[in-house]
Structure 1
Amino acid sequence: MGGAGGAATEERSDEVDGAEREAAGRGGPGRGRPRSEAVERSIVEGVMKLLEDGVPLADISIERVARIAGVGKATIYRRWSGREELFCDVLRTSEPPDPELPGTSMRADLVVLLESIRERGLANRSSAIIHNVYAQMKSSPKLWAAYHAAVIEPRRRMSFEVLRRGQENGEIRPDVDIDLVNDLFTGPMLVRAVLRQDAGLEEGLAERIVDTVLQGLAPQSPSGPDPAPTAG
């Protein structure tokens, strides 16, 4: 892959990076950042173009992405450590964004978290590209491990924190296993979103799941279980 083509690619990298530095010099950080975002967007769109053309993930190299995005390999490596990190960002930008939690109650936060899973499930069903990328990533242990560490694990930590706060605030019993409880909340939505492609993902499903599980986890009064809250 060397020779004149490789030299031209690296020359193009220097031109792009030089343009970014020049923009930053003219207008300070406020001018330099939009240029950087434009370059990153062109790289992500380059990967998406290859996926739309049916190119398998295994055949998408950094050099190929650089060529279609019109940048040098060095430009990509300045932003991503390698293919795995780049693919994670591409998939993340194709999904609905991670939610901002209202923080008003554990129930309200859980509803928002489950609603984000529902929306990602709908996106996966409606986009053949996203569905195909998921399938290919799961067949590649290295890619899936990178996606799990960069995307899935932070989402799990977010839900754990919500449940821990709920336990500390007395919204759920103090004796329950938080790891198991997290699965009880997210499991039904994930089953419908990932495993049961024929199952409904209707509006209001997040609220129904949260309220159903909370009925069994609410602190018990001397006269019996307290009713689950119905408002966030």
Structure 2
Amino acid sequence: MDTDRQATLTAPAAPPLCGSPRRGRPRSEAAEQAICAAVERLMTEGGTLAELTIEGIAQAAGVGKATIYRRWPNKEALLVDVLVRMEEPEQPLPGTGVRDDLVVILDYMRRRGLAKRSRWVLRVVLDQMGSMPALKEAYYDTVVMRRRRVIREVVARGVAAGELRDDLDIDLLAEMLTGPMLLRSVLWEDTPLDDPELPATIVDSLLEGLRGPALQVGSR
């Protein structure tokens, strides 16, 4: 396995969560967990993202503002960490082929959609993000772009290995492979997501028409 591919497969699946170790002076894990819990509690009590302040979060967590600012440069960075903490954890990619990697990626999207439906606070935070451009930009840069990059790298490896057609744009291929699950989990929220076999069904059905020469003969 080449160095770039190994780095992709073994890299952390998500940005550091609240309470995870970072460089610099050791921080109190208990304080970090209290800060994250305070944000969730304030949202549960009916607050909005716009109403949240560092002062209010610090008071609810029982810490000083300096404790928050030592770990997060601003409110947006803190809220991104809290949001990632509330979402479903991502699983490492198996790296055994484009099909297996895509099934893991789509299953994460499925579980994330279920979490949004079942966790009111998560749904509220995601929905309110559009009203806060700085938070939306921070989340997009920190989380969305990284996930998009991973999907693109998986598809590019599939094309290079002959598992996927090489006559289509890489980004278009990625969108075609992830679009059905994205549609179900984000836009059509009345469609079922509880079938754990759904990701494999989507990927296998799409690969029938997108497979490259390496999989044309004798493949599923």
Provide the TM-score with structure 1 as the length reference: 0.80
Match of residue 133, structure 1, among 120, 125, 128: 125
What displacement does 1:48 show? 0.6
In 2, distance between residues paired with 1:216 and 1:229? 12
In 2, distance between residues paired with 1:182 and 1:154? 14
Q: CA RMSD in A?
A: 2.1
In 2, distance between residues paired with 1:182 and 1:64? 42
Deviations 1:29-56 (A, max 9, x none): 9xx9986222211110110110110111
Alignment partner of 1:204 is 2:194: no
Gaps of 5+ in 2: 1-20
Gaps of 5+ in 1: 1-28
Change (3 A) 1:113 1:228: farther
Q: What percent identity do the matched residue pairs reach? A: 48
Q: Is the 8 A contact 1:218 1:227 kept in 2?
A: no
Match of residue 63, structure 1, among 55, 61, 76: 55
Relative contact order (alpha carbons < 8 A, sep ≥ 6): 1 or 2 greater? 2
Output aligned runs, 1:98-117, within 5 Å: 98-117=90-109
Q: Is the 8 A contact 1:46 1:69 kept in 2?
A: yes
What displacement does 1:98 show? 1.7
Match of residue 183, structure 1, among 175, 178, 201: 175
Provide the TM-score with structure 2 as the length reference: 0.84
In 2, distance between residues paired with 1:67 and 1:187? 42
State the aligned residue count: 197
Larger radius of gyration: 1
Deviations 1:53-105 (A, max 9, x none): 01111010011111111111111111111111111111100011122111111
Q: Is the 8 A contact 2:87 2:112 kept in 1?
A: yes
Output aligned runs, 1:1-232, within 5 Å: 36-201=28-193, 202-220=195-213, 226=216, 229-230=219-220
